[in-house]
Amino acid sequence: MSKKLLWYSGGLKFSCSGCGSCCGGGPGYVWVTQTEIDRLAAKFGISAELFEKLFVWSVNNGRRSLKEYPNGDCVLLDEKTRKCKFYEERPIQCKTWPFWKQNISKKTFWDAIAEHCPGCNCGRLYTLEEIEEQRDASNI
């Protein structure tokens, strides 16, 4: 498909306000790779094995996800500040939000997530190339 036909070919604005709502709420998965587990564990100051035991669970398809609290908060979300405790080391899924394939596949999907993410359509303009780079890097 020609890039001219993409609805977001003129770019999309996004700047995270840090509200934390995408890190909590309803149940979901935050996929983590072994490399990400190793990095998070090192930052936490514990072994990857212990980090995985404490904070990661295996989903039936063999993929691994960060655990969440009963209220839906990600296990790495600070309850008081509503910020990620390991923002710099957060998984690629979190780093590439909101430019996931599904989210940008249709403008109606983008509009739907923008209703819950105040960072969408605000602040920095991401170019088409930047959006596609994030889309391709995402594991969603």
Binding site for ligand SF4 (CB under 6 A): 16-23, 30, 66, 74, 76-77, 84, 90-91, 94, 97, 117-119
Shortest reach from residue 32's CB to ligand SF4, in Å: 8
What is the C-alpha separation between 75 and 23, in angstroms, rounded?
9
Residue with smaller CB distance to ligand SF4, 3 or 53: 53
Quick one: how far is CA 1 from the chain centroid? 27
Shortest reach from residue 129's CB to ligand SF4, in Å: 21
Residue with smaller CB distance to ligand SF4, 19 or 46: 19
Q: Tokens at residue 130, please?
A: 């930047």
Is the Cβ–Cβ distance between 123 and 14 less than 8 Å?
A: yes
Shortest reach from residue 10's CB to ligand SF4, in Å: 21
Shortest reach from residue 46's CB to ligand SF4, in Å: 16
DSSP 127: P
Is the Cβ–Cβ distance between 137 and 92 less than 8 Å?
A: yes
DSSP 92: H
